[in-house]
A and B are shown apart, each in its own frame.
Chain A
């Protein structure tokens, strides 16, 4: 208990004094996960919206596969990306293994199914109410689906924050494809794992607190957005 309290005190000290290693690690984590989420959003939102309105024979199988990928283990993603990017792999010529770019690719693959599956469900639900009216006005299926994303934009923001939470808190994939190289590919989760194994509990704890803080800020963001979404009509109606 005493050791924990001492570690916590040291951790807070690192945070308060903005320790350089801590700041670098946190900044890289935010950059990698933020970029991965932006990439996943670009493909996942449009892909998910399209799946909500597409009609073809293999659609149920594709949706089943997508929903299965929601539970994709991060170490499996890390392993697959490692095999692709390793020197002897099909994309070895890119030479990006053990760089932040490889970590972005791994996290993008990890959160893409989350974004696509949730976007598909979101649009499909919205189309129940608005599908026929939009079609009546002359909107094609894909335009209708994209309009529904705009219509449900607050839910989309919540969806993206959820994906960001998944990305920034995973450790398996970035550990394998990033290599946890100090100052280059060390992010919060891999640093926590390493510092704990080294016995440097204050730094591990400080990183853990920052990670929790980031997730807390995300949750506050979701709550604020949802509050704004539900309160706005009430305020307007007064």
Chain B
């Protein structure tokens, strides 16, 4: 049998990140374990996006990020999906070409086909990607990420600015990914969504992790006063 697979995919240890004059993250530590579905919650500017970017390696934190399984594949879906000025199909093939070290060439076309089928965009394959609706663009971004079969998928507010129907479609896809064993870390302002999808909730406040708890505990009697205020919709900055 093969060597055991590390239970933790990526961890950050005491990471602090400054963006210009602003400290976006302060001494943040966490471990993302296989099978986790983590919701990052917190007010605007609390550091959710920076933490996602740090986990993905897009932000340098001076060696505070450690990959326990360097072979694990990561993908990220950004809040505003970026698509090149070409068709849906070509955007997907390009993403698979860029991931060619991880995706065998012979499988690329089949994977692209399956990915579009999974998100219900197969019939839109020849349309310019940039004219898709907001919900379709987000589904396409999920298809593009799913096509490389990531072990860890990071999502930055994947349902922001979507109508309720599109939100539901995206949530159903994320639920399916998680059911397939994919590890998810997503930032969200939608506490209902966090409750529905996440197994673990991390509450960030002013760049610090104030609470990292299983979902049931977070939405139950959470220990942190500021998290409780956040859940009640009372923004901490307004009370200071």
Contacts and interface: CB of A to CB of B under 8 A. Distances in A.
Interface of A: 129-130, 132-139, 143, 147, 150-153, 232-233, 236-237
A153 B81 CA distance: 20
Contact of B84 (A136, A138, A151): A151
B51 interface: no
Task: Give the residue among B98, B127, B130 with the most A Cβ atoms within 10 A.
Answer: B98
8 contacts: A132-B53, A133-B78, A133-B81, A135-B58, A136-B56, A139-B98, A147-B84, A147-B94
3 nearest A-B residue pairs (beta carbon): A133-B82, A138-B98, A137-B98
Contacts of B94: 147
A185 B128 CA distance: 46
A150 B130 contact: no
Secondary structure dominating the interface of A = helix
Contacts of A136: 56, 58, 75-76, 78
A130 B91 CA distance: 13
B17 to A, nearest CB: 15
Nearest to B96: A137
Contact of A137 (B53, B95, B127, B131): B95
A153 B101 CA distance: 28
Interface of B: 53, 56, 58, 75-76, 78, 80-82, 84-86, 94-95, 98-99, 101, 127-128, 130-131, 144
A151 B128 CA distance: 12
Given A132-B58, A151-B85, A236 B131 contact: yes
Contacts of B53: 132
Contacts of A143: 98
Nearest to A136: B76
A110 B193 CA distance: 58
Contacts of B85: 150-153
B82 A130 contact: yes
Nearest to A139: B98
Contacts of A232: 128
Contacts of A236: 127-128, 131
Nearest to A131: B82
A89 B85 CA distance: 47
A136 B95 CA distance: 10
B98 A150 contact: no
Task: Give the residue among B53, B85, B127 with the most A Cβ atoms within 10 A.
Answer: B85
A132 B128 CA distance: 21
B84 A137 contact: no
Contacts of B131: 233, 236-237
B82 to A, nearest CB: 4
Contacts of B56: 136
B150 to A, nearest CB: 11
A233 B58 contact: no
A134 B75 CA distance: 11
Contacts of A152: 85
B82 A134 contact: yes
B78 A233 contact: no
A128 to B, nearest CB: 10
B15 to A, nearest CB: 18
Contacts of B76: 133, 136
Task: Give the residue among A133, A134, A143 with the most B Cβ atoms within 10 A.
Answer: A133
A232 B129 CA distance: 12
A7 to B, nearest CB: 48
Nearest to A129: B82
Given A135-B58, A136-B56, A136-B58, A150 B127 contact: no
Nearest to A153: B85
A107 to B, nearest CB: 30
A150 B97 CA distance: 16
